[in-house]
Structure 1
């Protein structure tokens, strides 16, 4: 009986060799399995650019076919953690580069029902790429290489990234950087992370990219300034508290347990107004860097105008002046509602006065008693009492003033007294 030409048998982890999902031309680490649920194994072989594009196309449609939300999240986390399976920085960056190239290529074919899970996948991949830099101690060279890769594939004018990928990347960058490194990064390191966005904002000719960077990066920094200062003050208070606790030896165990419980209660998010760790920035240094790139002659005028507004806000923050937008949300909402009420009240008063002038205006304003003119065809101007033919007098003020009504001029003929009974026969 000849060799079987049917479907090829896939060996399992318990067989004599590892599964295809866990091996390549090189050696395989111990304990690798055929499933995708354990991405911590290390690939000792190298992939080419085209091979990783094929891998990412398969992973893309793996996410495409998953419809259950919880499984989508688990699958996205598993796929994004594959970056840690590569040993060298070059292979990790090649893995990230092919991911963003795949997203740029396939983005136009994603329908609106599948859009959210690919937004989530982009967020998770960015988060894991920042974690990979954190494992190397936030080295300056590693940070620069990662930022250069991201800017080249997404925000550079020569990139093929669609607007949806650009906008979402700008929106989530500071959020994911905050989650990964808010407790470790200094103000100088954070400035290094946003420096490429300063350059792109100064030189881009895409108004959408300029708006998204100004809103999603710089104005977000301005809005988070009160929380950043509060976070810094809490850190200093915690250090002072630890020093005082080390000095005082007479505290009881019960008191320490109670204090620990209170601190845990504060950290669990019971307070709605409490915010997590926030990135620290030197606002004067950020303003100086923005001014440096915005004041160049090659910067378009609309970019310079927009960046100067951001620079002014950052300089105000450096001087200790907080913008009105950084008032706590409840207080700001109360002030905003009060302003709206005052504006509506002013508008209603203006509309009432206009309607009143319309009702009482016209010829009635020129009469001595402000009543209705008995002869609307007479030209009455000024506040002086108009002259009447000899032997005729104005009637007294009416008891009830009716709105002015224009009537046609009566024919002054033989029936003139009948047409105008207030006036006697003409002399």
Structure 2
């Protein structure tokens, strides 16, 4: 009997991750995390592409074997947080790349009863990837690398991603980005993060991808605009209130210092109702803040201009151009003609790196596709004047009737009977007029 072949640690971990016993799988997940930390700490260490594919195959079937919903959520959170165990950014991106490649490869074999757990796993992995980007301060270079990875593996027409993976990724991208970076990202950073969707929407030949991007990304941004404006106004009001409170506290301190020692303080005693009421109000305000969901801030004019620029290119397919122009018209109409806050749009710097409201303006439209993009703004009167000029007539000179005074012209309007006048009906006799009685002396 020959010596037993020692399998690589990645294959051993993958076999244990796909085991039948839950205790074995949980223990394998914990060992995998320790193994990742220990191996990526070394300068010459790290994982290869094939090794991480084997690890993800074991993690995939580890999720496959978990049936209870609460345990599925806990396992999905544990698996997605493995990205933070890698010590280098390159290793993290390789881990994410092999995850999406594994999902693309295994997606056709997932039955409908197990779809929800893998939808949840994709959502959690995307959230942790954005969280890792936030810990690096939303670095531009790291952001570009992550967006390029996601575009290559999911959105690009040459990728092997099935329609289910593409559609779900487009649906959850803005939601997870809002949860992770709504309080930190500026309008310029948000525009940079949706740049791949603008490019794919202008180039793709897949009508399903185009529809999902237009509806799940661009139209969602336009629909959330009133909420973003309201949130920005609330922040400005809160800052004004905080400044007023600081001023009032300073005035109160100055008054207390100026008071004589014998004067009693105006502050209510500790057991009074007024003193106990303040924490309740503060707690109610905190509850309201927790219930209000954050919204991503965008420079909506810049978004409309970017979409119009991508749609106006000569290599853009007509179907894509028409769909993008529809989004541009909708965004412009939302801020110019409709919406509860149509007088303002967001743009420019503001407090905390957010955009400040300014009067909305229609994006600059020029070129041969301008009429198709924004439609005609001519009034009916100006249209009639143009038709007369083309026919050779002068709109300033009044035109005479064709028949003159005695000829046949346009039929005259019939006079309407006066209000209260008695209508004469055929077949009815009119009452005789009453004769006036004259005095006998005048006969």
Q: Does 1:307 align with 2:324?
A: yes
Contact 2:97/2:153 (8 A) holds in 1: yes
Correspondence 1:225 to 2:225: yes
- Aligned-pair CA distance for 1:320: 6.8
Aligned twin of 2:79: 79
What's the CA shift string for 1:127-165, capped at 9, x where partnerless?
A: 000000000001111111101100100010110000000
Matching residue of 2:282: 260
Task: State the partner residue of 2:177.
Answer: 177
Bigger mean CA deviation after superposition, 226-235 or 170-179: 226-235
CA deviation string 1:34-68 (max 9, x = no partner): 55359587332300000000000000000000000
The alpha carbon displacement at 1:318 in A equals 4.5
CA contact (8 A) 2:226 2:340 kept: no
Shift of 1:266: 1.1
TM-score, normalising length: structure 2: 0.63
User: How large is the RMSD of aligned CA atoms in angstroms?
Assistant: 2.8
Tell me: CA distance 1:233–1:51, structure 2 relative to 1, closer, same or farther (3 Å).
same
Distance 1:203 1:152 in 2: 14
CA distance in 1, matches of 2:184, 2:336: 25
Question: What is the aligned counterpart of 2:29 among 3, 13, 36?
Answer: 36
* Residue equivalent to 1:330: none
Q: Does the 8 A contact of 1:202 with 1:293 survive in 2?
A: yes
* Mapped contact 1:284–1:318 kept (Cα < 8 A): no
The 5-angstrom pairing of residues 350-365 of structure 1 reads none
Q: Which residue in the other structure is 2:68 paired with?
A: 68
Residue 228 of structure 2 aligns to a residue in which SS?
helix
1:267-278 alignment to 2 at 5 Å?
267-269=289-291, 275-278=292-295
> How big is the shift at 1:291?
0.7
Among 280, 283, 297, which residue is 1:280 paired with? 297
The answer for unaligned runs of 5 or more in structure 2 is 14-25, 253-266, 269-274, 342-443
Q: Does 1:294 align with 2:311?
A: yes
CA distance in 2, matches of 1:268, 1:301: 45
2:369 — aligned with what?
Answer: none
Q: How far apart are the structure 1 equivalents of 2:155 and 2:6?
A: 45
What TM-score, normalized by structure 1, do the two folds share?
A: 0.65
Structure 1 unaligned spans of 5+: 11-19, 22-32, 270-274, 325-427
The corresponding residue for 2:91 is 91
| Greater alpha carbon shift after TM alignment, 41-50 vs 224-233 | 41-50
Greater relative contact order, per chain length (Cα 8 Å cut-off, separation 6+): 2
In the TM superposition, what whole-angstrom CA distance separates every residue of 1:353-399 from its partner, at most 9, and x where no partner exists? Answer: xxxxxxxxxxxxxxxxxxxxxxxxxxxxxxxxxxxxxxxxxxxxxxx
Asked if structure 2 preserves the Cα contact closer than 8 Å seen for 1:59 and 1:79, the reply is: yes
How far did residue 264 of structure 1 move?
A: 1.9
Deviation of the 1:242 alpha carbon: 1.2
Q: CA deviation at 1:192?
A: 0.4
The number of aligned residues is 298
In structure 1, distance between residues paired with 2:230 and 2:188: 19
Give the secondary-structure state (helix, strand or coil) at the position aligned to 1:36. Answer: helix
Alignment partner, residue 210 of structure 2? 210
Tell me the CA shift for residue 265 of structure 1: 2.5
Q: Go from structure 1 to structure 2 and tell me whether the alpha carbon gap of 1:4 and 1:263 turns closer, same or farther (over 3 Å shift).
A: farther
Confirm or deny: 8 A CA contact 1:155 1:166 kept in the other structure: yes
Residues 6 and 290 of structure 1, relative CA distance in 2, 3 Å threshold? closer
Residues 5 and 196 (structure 1), Cα distance of their counterparts in 2 relative to 1, 3 Å cut: closer
Contact 1:178 1:277 in 2 (8 A): yes
In the alignment, the residues of structure 2 paired with residue 223 and residue 114 of structure 1 have an alpha-carbon distance, to the nearest angstrom, of: 32
Q: What is the rounded CA distance, in whole Å, between the counterparts of 2:333 and 2:64 in structure 1?
A: 47
